[in-house]
Amino acid sequence: MKQLFFLCINLLFSVSIFSQTDSAFIRKVYDEALLRGKSHEDLRQLCKDIGARLSGSAEAQMAVEWSEKKMKEYGFDKVYLQEIKVPHWERGTKESAWIRTKSGKLIKLHLLALGGSIGTDGLLQGEVVEFKTIDDLKKATESQVKGKIVFLNQEMDAAQIQTFKAYGACYAIRGNGAVEAGKLGAKAVVIRSLGLPLDDHPHTGSMHYEANIARIPAGALATKDAQLLSEELKKGKAELVLEMDCRVFPDATSYNVIGELTGSKFPNEIITFGGHLDSWDTGEGAHDDGAGVIHCLEALRILKTMNYKPTHTLRVVFFMNEENGNMGGKTYATWVKEKGEKHIAALESDRGGFAPRGFTCDGSDKQVAFLKTFAPNFKEYDLHIFEKGYGGVDIGPLKDSFPGIPCFGFVPDSQRYFDFHHAPSDVFESVNKRELELGAAGIASFLYLLDRGI
C-alpha cells in the first residue's frame, strides 16, 4: 500500500512539472508572436505585393514563389514544392447588371459571376422570377421558369450564433442554383450573396454544372441589391440585364508549398498543418485564406526561433486550389500515401484572422477527449472551444488516405467572417494585427502540445 501511495505522489509531481513546463513554453510563444511577430507584415506582403490569388492566375504563381522564398528565409529544415494540376477559370472584364423596371427605368446593380460560370455572350436580358430557397425552385414548373432569369433570394439566418451554420444552410443556392434552374429552362440564375450584412459588396464562390443539363450563367448580387430587386418584384414584373465575360481554360500547373521541421524521434511520423494559398479574384484574400496560411507560417517560424526540436515532423503546407476544386488537398493526400508516409494528425486554419476561440476535432470520441485535455493550457489566453467539429477542406482528403487520423480545425470568432468572405472587401486592412498574432500564437502552442502528447 505504501509503495502505491508513493507511486501516485510521484505521478502527480511529474504531471505538475510537465504542466509547468508547458505553461512556461506557451507564455514564450505568445511573447514571440505579440512582441516580435512577423505575421502582420507577411500578410501585408501577400495581400498588397501579390494580391488576389485565383488558381491558374499569374498572382497565384507569384504567391507560390513568395511563399517558397519566405519559408527558406525562416530557415525551415526542408522547403519544397509539390506540383499539381488546377482548374483555370477567369472572370474576364467586369460584370455589369441592371434592373429594368416595369416603367422602363434602369437601376445599376453590383454583380459578381460565380466561380466556374459561363459567360453571357454579350448582353443577356429576361424577366425575373423569384424563389426564396433551392427547395422552392425545385417545386416550380417549367412553365414558371422557362426563358426567365431565376432569382434565389435566401437570406443567411441572422439568429444563428454560429455563422457557419447560417452559411451552410444557404450554400445550395450558390452551389446548385444553376443546375436546378437549368433543368427548368432558365436563361440565367442570380443569387443573393451569402453574406450577413446589408451592403454593396457581392460575394462570389464556387458553383457547378452537371452533364446533360443546360449550362446557364450564374452570378451573385450584393445583399442590398437583392433586397432592392425583391422590392421591385413586389410592384410587378421586372427584367434583369446582365453581361458576364467568364472563360474556362485548360487545367494549369501549380504547386503546394511545403516547409518542415524534422522530428527528432519520429521523423517519419508527420503532423500536417496549413491553409490554402489561393483565393477568389476579388479583394485580396486576406481572411480567406491569407490569414490561415500566415497563421501557420508564423507558428512554424516561432517554434524554429525558439529552437524547439519537435518529436514528430511538423509540416506546414500552403495548399493551392481549395476555392474551386481542392486539387491541392486531394493531390497531397494521394501523394503522401503513395510515398508511404505515416501521417498521425492534421490541422487547418481557414476561418479568418479574427480573435481565436479554440479548436475542434473531426475524429473519434477518444481523439476529442484528447483535445479537451489541452483546454487548461489555454484558459488564460481566452480560448475555450475544445470540442468535436470540423477540420478543414484541404486536410479532409487525408482521412481517406489515413483512416482514423484526427483532423483539427482552428476556430476564431466568426461573427464578422461573412462580412468579407469571397467579397471585394476581403482586404488586408480588414485584418486586425493583434487578433492575427494571437491566432498564430494559439496554433504554435497547439502544435507544441500535439507534438508532445500524441
Q: Which amino acid is at 180?
A: E
Q: Which amino acid is at 336?
A: V
- Give 425's DSSP letter: T
Nearest to 424 by CA among 299, 282, 254: 282
Residues in the chain, how many? 454
C-alpha–C-alpha distance, residues 38 and 297, integer Å: 9
- Give 206's DSSP letter: B
Q: What's the CA angle centered on 354, arms 349 and 360, to 5 degrees? A: 45
Beta-strand runs (E) in 70-141: 78-90, 96-100, 106-108, 111-113, 124-131
Q: What's the CA angle centered on 251, arms 250 and 257, to 5 degrees? A: 155
Tell me which of 298, 322, 323, 348 is the catalytic residue. Answer: 322
Task: Find out whether the peptide bond into 289 is cis, omega within 30 degrees of 0.
Answer: yes
Q: What's the CA angle centered on 113, arms 97 and 424, to 5 degrees? A: 90
Decide if 322 is catalytic.
yes
C-alpha–C-alpha distance, residues 103 and 86, integer Å: 46
Contact between residue 433 and residue 33 where contact means Cβ atoms under 8 Å apart: no
Report the greatest alpha carbon distance in the chain: 95
CA distances for 31 relative to 159, 274, 299, 303, angstroms:
37, 22, 12, 12
What residues are labeled active site? 322
